[in-house]
Chain A
């Protein structure tokens, strides 16, 4: 053996020793401290899909000097992570969850104080039998008022921590004053697939980008007969049709309410559908004293659900009128049947009379099996993102019963913008439960018996990511596959002139007033 080999061997042995000494093990002779452990995000006793990325967490304990987290299953399998930030190996994590579908895992946290290891009370992770859609997309936006800067629509693989940008306003904007503000928003997919989806670009190079069969095109949805371009969106599950709300939106500011600093109001708000094939805008609702928003197709495409509010306006200064009565503006959930062959809508049918309860209901989302109507319910208004009191409610459309998802919702933490997974077992929603201001994405389990369970935060590799991040997530959407069209391709389309939509005049005006 020559000297080179001796040095190499010695180095290998030393490296192995270092690695071995850094690998955490279950502390021996630990003593129960009888206390619940606080971890961030709060993953205690949550229900999780078996294909979710590791639930890394931060141990909130200022007294311990070292920590070990042990995840155990009923067969004696173990997963160990050391340190105040428990970060689990992805492969080991998936293997353990796969082996424990429908079962539960026990998580025990150990903390060393001086020379003694203490054991916190264990908590459970309940592994559901149903998987979650592999992808979600969302937008990063500053938790701001009027100004905004960088906006990006991103997609995330839920089985790991991979995140990529679908489109960012930095990609095209910022080259001159006219391009300083460019907003990208309201991404929406057809039936969870990404060959057909849409999003809006506002101000600089503005238009609506519709991707069909993987090919993008840019449209201008504002016509002479409508109040503006499309805002909130719902892609029909089977037909080449997209429903939009059209609105003029303003903000009003509260002087001294800590929990309610801003109220967002629509001074005008209508509903249209856009026929992609014929490039036509068809009005669904457009009365002056009525405000419709947040359209959403039922999974079978036979009904269009939306939120609607009637408010008698004098018409002089709408912003002033509405701002002075902002806490009296309440929305019901309406649905109208739709016949794709004749393009005709049925009469409006109020499916959730929230006003009668002194509440306001928005974001109607029907479960994929068509049985449950999921809504966000607040005291008033339609922008529940800023309403800490808003919670998720579900209405059983078979039994007509209504109940809050009290296990999934944190009380008074602005739960809104919820969507069902394609199998109907998972609900992705936004919430401000962590700090009251920065919206975060949480996922809750809705079992086959219609019961909700405690939700968990979107897992992040760095468990303190949500605390460190000075941006909010919004508009979470499930997808069963990633968006394949590149940002470059989308940008090329955004640079093009928009195709102006035509107004579909063969329209018999209807109103629910």
Chain B
């Protein structure tokens, strides 16, 4: 009884600690993993997942992943299944209670695997990655446990072969793991007869497994690349160059393979020593989790931002973005969108750094690939938003996020049949059907034409008929587009003025600046516009113009006074820039357009 209580308490402790850890560190990760996944109740979706061996883990994993729409619910499920896995490992390998810490290792390694995900989460090609290792391992443990019920070794081997033949198509590598581990150890270590002979039999068994696997792949999955036969069913995160992410999964396989040996060795020691050693093994696995975790603040922030957009909490985005000391370009794009929505673009856009970090990732990542669809959508460029959602969907797989973006774009583009296609998919999901129903209302043109986003589109994305653009990088495309003054609206003028300042396009700036001044002569010009006007006027070395601009921005205003105080510094930086003056400028005028123009604009990465 005491043993059972001890085991129960340790399981509960494991569950609580894991839940707390994930709840604190991984809510956004769980949400995004879910948003990049898709579970739809239709056979085309099933066909898509089931076209390779080991689909069951992915399919069930995808079903479970949808609950991470509410991250805490997803984490609860995740932890519950991990805890069940601990119990199953213990049962399958008949671990005595003093060795029970060993049963924790696979579950801890699964947590390690998930916490090791990087930007590959935005490029994953498989469904259900979050839960599929747990589901697969649970099935493996069940199979091993059942095989272990058979005492006669040859009967066990026969059953393992039959079970493998039946289950490899649905469980893939997890069936292989179970079929090999189930009979292997007793066959090699416990069976009767010559050791060499038993080794020979084990070899024959392994050969038969491989033959079954090859035949089944050829017969049942004719389009499956047999290069992946022994990996079928494993979670697939960006395979190339990021195989390190899989390390925990490999360790789980190796650990389970050698667990019977470890168990035998530890059983030869005293229970106390064995408990201590197995506890150390489990603790080592736990300690490695945070070490293996992908610690990248831009990545964490991007997950949080995607989570916020996903649940319609756009107001959180700005706060998240401005916390980054050296944000990636994606976060700068989001930051400017949120400033624009608040009407603060021209007052605050240069208060935050424009120096950006690259995406820390083994594989090539484009900011446009990750956030292009959403960024274009915020600016109501439906065609380009749709394009980048499609590009991502095609490269990876259909996901809730991409379906939402595509549905939204084509609804506003008034393509009702196409919208119906995407909305129908989302309506057959558990947690996106309400969103889809709401969006479907916009298919009614009378409703659409009163919608604020539609009205914004007519202000901001106005181009001559047939206008084209072939720029692959969304930031550069937007800047180019907004500095093109073939049409003008008030909303667009604000963006154009901002783009002109970002690009240092003085001609466009002056046109819009003066128009803005005339239209709003009763208001002070936005702060950054004042800064740019003074700088550009000063740069022209035309004293009259400079005087006029001083009057325009207000000679006694803080912006003008600050400029005049540092006039000599600007003169030097405009004629012969040097590092010392640039550093001085950053100290004296942080968060100004002057600092951006003279210090940061040279490193602005508009080409992604």
A residues in contact (CB < 8 Å) with B: 142-149, 152, 164-165, 168, 170-177, 180, 251-259, 261-263, 319, 323-324, 326-327, 434-438, 462, 465, 467-470, 487-488
Contacts and interface: CB of A to CB of B under 8 A. Distances in A.
A143 B227 CA distance: 28
A143 B413 CA distance: 17
Contacts of B391: 144-147
A470 B44 contact: yes
Contacts of B394: 142, 144, 147-149
Interface string B495-524: 000000000000000000000000000000
Given A144-B391, A435-B418, A257 B466 contact: yes
A12 B431 CA distance: 43
Given A172-B225, A254-B466, A143 B390 contact: yes
30 contacts: A142-B390, A144-B391, A144-B394, A147-B391, A148-B394, A149-B395, A165-B223, A170-B51, A171-B222, A174-B227, A175-B227, A253-B468, A254-B383, A255-B461, A255-B469, A256-B382, A256-B383, A256-B463, A256-B467, A258-B410, A261-B383, A261-B386, A324-B468, A326-B468, A435-B415, A435-B418, A437-B415, A467-B421, A468-B42, A468-B424
Given A149-B125, A149-B394, A165-B223, 5 more contacts: A253-B387, A255-B383, A256-B461, A258-B382, A258-B383
* For the complex of A and B, 8 pairs with smallest distance between CB atoms: A168-B223, A435-B417, A258-B413, A468-B44, A142-B394, A144-B394, A435-B418, A147-B394
Most buried by A among B222, B223, B466, B481: B223
Contacts of A468: 42-45, 424-425
A255 B417 contact: no
Interface in B209-238: 218, 222-225, 227-228
Contacts of B461: 255-256
B398 A255 contact: no
A323 B470 contact: yes
Interface string B121-134: 00001000000000
B239 interface: yes
Given A144-B394, A145-B391, A171-B225, A253 B384 contact: yes
A254 B467 contact: yes
Interface residues of B, number: 50
A434 B415 CA distance: 11
A177 B384 CA distance: 27
A252 B240 contact: no
A340 to B, nearest CB: 38
B427 interface: no
Given A468-B42, A469-B44, A487 B390 contact: no
A174 to B, nearest CB: 6
Interface in B359-397: 381-384, 386-387, 390-396
B314 interface: no
B3 interface: no
A171 B386 contact: no
Contacts of A263: 468
Interface in B176-235: 218, 222-225, 227-228
Contacts of A177: 240-241
B470 A252 contact: yes
A468 B421 CA distance: 7
Contacts of B224: 170-171
A258 B396 CA distance: 25
A180 B394 CA distance: 13
B440 to A, nearest CB: 13
A146 B462 CA distance: 25
A435 B420 contact: yes
A255 B467 contact: yes
Contacts of B383: 253-258, 261
Given A144-B391, A147-B394, A165-B222, A462 B470 contact: no
Contacts of B43: 462, 468
B465 interface: yes
B414 interface: yes
Select the residue from A170, A252, A258 with max chain B CB neighbours within 10 A. Answer: A258
B225 A255 contact: no
A323 B413 contact: no
A175 B224 CA distance: 12
Given A180-B240, A254-B383, A263-B468, A434 B417 contact: yes
B470 A253 contact: yes
Contacts of B382: 256, 258
A435 B410 CA distance: 11
Contacts of A145: 387, 390-391
Contacts of A251: 470
Nearest to B397: A149
A437 B45 CA distance: 19
Q: Which of A143, A173, A257 has the most CB of B within 10 A?
A: A257
Given A147-B394, A263-B468, A468-B44, A255 B481 contact: yes
B239 A174 contact: yes
A172 B228 CA distance: 10
Contacts of B415: 258-259, 435-437
Nearest to A488: B218
Contacts of A434: 417
A175 B383 CA distance: 33
A177 B481 CA distance: 34
Interface string B399-421: 00000000000100111011011
A438 B468 contact: no
A143 B393 CA distance: 10
A143 B225 CA distance: 24
A142 B415 CA distance: 18
A144 B393 CA distance: 9
Contacts of B218: 488
Interface string B465-479: 111111000000000
Interface string B412-447: 011101101100110000000000000000000000
A226 B392 CA distance: 34
Contacts of B424: 467-468
Contacts of A173: 225
A139 to B, nearest CB: 13
A252 to B, nearest CB: 5
B421 A435 contact: yes
B238 to A, nearest CB: 10
B198 to A, nearest CB: 36
A324 B468 CA distance: 8
Nearest to A323: B468
Nearest to A175: B227
B405 to A, nearest CB: 14
Nearest to A260: B466
B468 A254 contact: yes
A261 B463 CA distance: 14
A172 B463 CA distance: 44
A357 B222 CA distance: 49
A255 B418 CA distance: 18
A145 B472 CA distance: 12
A258 B417 contact: no
A147 B384 contact: no
Contacts of B468: 252-255, 263, 323-324, 326
Contacts of A326: 468
A323 B466 CA distance: 11
B303 to A, nearest CB: 23
